[in-house]
Amino acid sequence: MVAAHRLHPDEALYGHWGLLILSGRDPWLVGEPVYKPPLLPYLLAGSLALLGRSEWALRLPGVFAGTVAVALTARLARSLYGGSVTGLAAAWVTALLPFAFLFSATAFTDPLMVTLGLAGCAAAAAGRPGWAGVLAGLSVAAKQTGVAWLPLAGLLVLASAVRHPRPGGTARALARWLAGGLAVVAVLVAWDRLRVAQGATSFWGAGVTGYGGLRLAWPAELTPRLRAWLGLGRALFGSPLLDVLFVAGAAALVWRGLRRRDWPALFDLLWVGFGLLYLLVHWLWAFPVWDRYLLPLVAVVAMVLGRTVSVGLRSLRPRAAVTGLVVLLLAVSLMASAANGLSGRIPVGAGQSTYDGIERVAAFLRGLPEGTVLYHHWLGWEYGFYLFDAPLYLAYWPDPAWLARDVQAFGETGPRTIVFPAWESSARVEAALADVGYRLQRVFSVGDRFRVYAVRP
């Protein structure tokens, strides 16, 4: 999946930040309107240093995070519930759920954020409160919404301290969790203040603006937003059978949890409650309805399905061979969903084939004479990565009239080119250029995806 498709614009932008850091041109990202925390850009700089400028280098942290998440899910389930059935089933779900592996093959911030949050929860359940705070804090350093993992890790620290009392008691465990989280947040704040002191915009404020101002959804938006989130929720599984199994399993676990007074029942309620609260916040607040925002729910799905299998088997008291067979059947049912994801029938992840061919466009543009002006309106973030350090001058045009005035004033000073993607027409630009005595001449194309034009008198 890493090599299946070209970079999504967000991936290309993060790769551009990594190249700026690696090249030393802007190690603090002062000249960029950065709206994400710094952990991923600096990891990408290291990956690019090891593997060179490639899509594989950008997506390596996501692949690593997605792979480690499988083991972390199993470890967390075993720490909370004991035994191996829940952990094994939850690991199968994490490995084969299309949402999990499709996003692991990307350079988005979300896979790293989720894995670090899971690591914080696993540390908390294992009785490591300091590490729980640090790792959950690093989840915030990967993406701001990683803040959702901090209270979850804190609750697991509290539960672990009560279940397994240690010297210093609950207060000491919570203090160590809080200190670990605050230490990471302090580093984040210091990095941001250093950038602001050099004239940059705070990434905290830029992030809030990017999310649309974090306002409450208007009443008229609630029903459309609910439909949109539920539609993405169906893509989370990629299978109606798994949809039904998850909903039925979650309802059964809640019913069981409300009637029992033991730790596994409490953890069941905690996971279902975390998932519902996460969905409620994203529905009621005007977050963009984007598929990757549901990635943290993979952990909830894995735990609920793992517990559904485990509780069901325990109530039937089968032999070990039957237990293994049931877990294997769950894996087989997940494989059908995974096959849909691999074949592209579940349109999540890096945007599928939308930008395939941009690397061929970039190779052509790199061969143009030094100093060629490349006008851009749609593909600027892709150019920032694929054409980094290319001997071209990138000029953003806001509208055809601006482009026509610029060509009229400077068109005789050197070659100029412009690229149109498949979803944009060149008609308005051609009309504006004709008014000032210029035209577009196609010089390269990639099927019907991208058309490269030279601007001629």
Lowest-confidence segment of 114-128, 290-304, 348-362, 370-384 by average pLDDT: 348-362
Q: Rounded mean pLDDT of 352-364?
A: 91
Count CB neighbours of 208 within 10 A: 14
CATH 3.40.190 in the chain, residues? 358-456
The model's pLDDT over 266-310, given as tens digits with 9 standing for 90+, comes to 999 999 999 999 999 999 998 889 989 999 999 999 999 999 888
pLDDT tier, 338 (very low <50, low <70, confident <90, very high otherwise): confident
Three-class SS of residue 374? strand
What does the mean pLDDT of the chain come to? 91
Query: Phi and psi at residue 342, in whole multiples of 5°?
Result: -65, -30
Q: Which one-letter DSSP state was computed for residue 372?
A: E
* Alpha-carbon gap, residue 428 to 11, rounded angstroms: 30
The DSSP 8-state label assigned to residue 367 in this structure reads: T
Reading phi first (left if > 0) and then psi (alpha if -120 to 50, else beta), residue 332 is in alpha
Q: How far apart, in whole angstroms, are the C-alpha atoms of residue 323 and residue 331?
A: 13
Judge whether residue 382 has pLDDT over 90: yes
pLDDT at 84 over 90: no
Q: Which residues contact 104 (CB under 8 A, 6 or more apart)?
A: 1, 62, 63, 65, 66, 67, 69, 111
CATH numeric code, 358-456: 3.40.190
| Strand pairing class (416-421; 372-376) | parallel
pTM of the model: 0.93
Question: For residue range 104-125, what is the model confidence (pLDDT) as tens digits?
Answer: 999 999 999 999 999 999 999 9
Lowest mean pLDDT among 47-56, 261-270, 348-357: 348-357
Q: Is 323 helix (H, G, I), strand (E, B) or coil?
A: helix
Separation of alpha carbons 108 and 131, rounded Å: 24
* CA angle, 321 then 326 then 327, to 5°: 100
